[in-house]
Amino acid sequence: MANSTAPTPATPGALVDPLLNHGAAFTQPERDELGLTGRLPSRVLTLEQQAQRAYQQLEAQGSDLAKNVYLEQLHDRNETLYYKILGEHLVELLPIVYDPTVGEAIEKYSHEYRRPRGVFLSIDQADAMEKAFATLQLGPEDVDLIVCTDAEQILGIGDWGVGGIQISVGKLAVYTAAAGIDPHRVIAVSLDVGTDRESLLKDPLYLGNRHRRVRGADYDAFIEKYLRTASSMFPRALLHFEDFGPSNARRILETYGGTYRIFNDDMQGTGAITLAAALSAVKVSGVPMRDQKLVVFGAGTAGVGIADQLRDAMIRDGASPSRRPHRSG
C-alpha cells in the first residue's frame, strides 16, 4: 500500500491561480521566472490563438447549460481568457452566463458544484462576517462593487437558496464584459438565510443552510450587520442588492438608502430602464406622463420597482400624489 504521506508532484502557483494563469501564452522568460520550465508544451500561443481554441471547445458543448459550465471552468482556470471570450462574443454569450441559462445553473448548483466563487455569509454565523471578508486579503481601497443576494426571488424561478450566488457571479461577469469594471475589484456575496423550497431542504447534497428562511427582526439584524460590516471594511464600494423579495427589497432600500451606498438593481435599475422607455413613448404620443394610464404585469420585485418609478414620474409631471395604482396584475 502506498505511503499516504509520500510527497506528490507540485503544481506551480502560476498555473493554479486564475488571475495569474496564462496557460500556453506564458512567454519563455515568464516560464523561466515563474518555475514553469517543462510544465507547458513548448509552443507559445498568443491570446488570440488561445481564444480561438477555447471558442471552438465552447461551441462543441451540447447544451446551453454545458456551455455555462464550460465557461465557469474557464473562469476558474484562466480569467484573462474567460473575459477575452466573453467580451468578443458578448451578445451571443450573455444568455449563457446570465439570464436565462444561469437560472438552470442556479437550480443545479449543489449538484454541479466544483469550486467556490465569492463570499458565503450565513445568518447562523453572523459574527463571522468580518472574518469571512478578511480572507480575501483586500484593503479598504481595493473594492469598488459588491453584489449580494439572499436568493429569495431569483429571476423568474423563485427561491433557490445558496445557489443564488451564481446570480451575483453572473452579474459581475456582465459588468466586466459589458462595462469594463475591473474583475479584481469586485466581490460576489451570498446572504444565506435559509430556504423555503422543499426540494432543497430535502436534498442531501444541498450546500446551504438546511432550515426555513429566517424572517422578521433576526433577518433585519443580519442585513444591517452586513451593511455595516461591508461598508466599514470597503468604504469605496457600491453595495448592490440583487434578486431580493419585493417586501425586503423595498424596506432595505427605504431604511438604509440614505445611510449606505446601496443600489437595488431590480427596483432601481429595471425601473429606470422602463421609465426611460415610457418617457420616450410620451414624446411620441404627445400625451403627458401625468395623464398616462399604465399597467404593470406582475408584482414581483422588478414590477414593484417599475410601478414606484412610473408613479413618481407622473407626480413630478403634475399628477396628484393620491393617484395610485389600485391593483397589480
Residues with a catalytic annotation lie at: 98, 171
Whether the Cβ atoms of residue 188 and residue 169 lie closer than 8 Å to each other: yes
119: enclosing H helix or E strand: strand 119-122
Is 178 in contact with 269 (CB distance < 8 Å)? no
Question: Cβ-count burial of 156 within 10 angstroms (0-12 exposed, 13-18 middle, 19+ buried)?
Answer: exposed
**CA 275 and chain centroid, separation:** 24
CB contact at 8 A, 190 and 151: yes
- Integer Cα distance of 73 and 154 in angstroms: 23
DSSP 8-state secondary structure symbol assigned to residue 89: T
Q: Which DSSP letter does residue 5 get?
A: T
Q: In whole angstroms, what is the distance from residue 121 CA to residue 99 CA?
A: 24
| Three cell numbers, residue 194 | 435559509
**Start-to-end Cα distance in the chain:** 68
Q: Return left, alpha or beta for 35; rule: phi > 0 is left, psi -120 to 50 is alpha, else beta.
A: left
Q: Give the residue among 265, 268, 260 at the shortest CA–CA distance from 227.
A: 260
State how far the alpha carbon of 123 is from the alpha carbons of 207, 212, 222, 245, 270, in Å: 14, 12, 6, 17, 28
d(CA 249, CA 241): 8
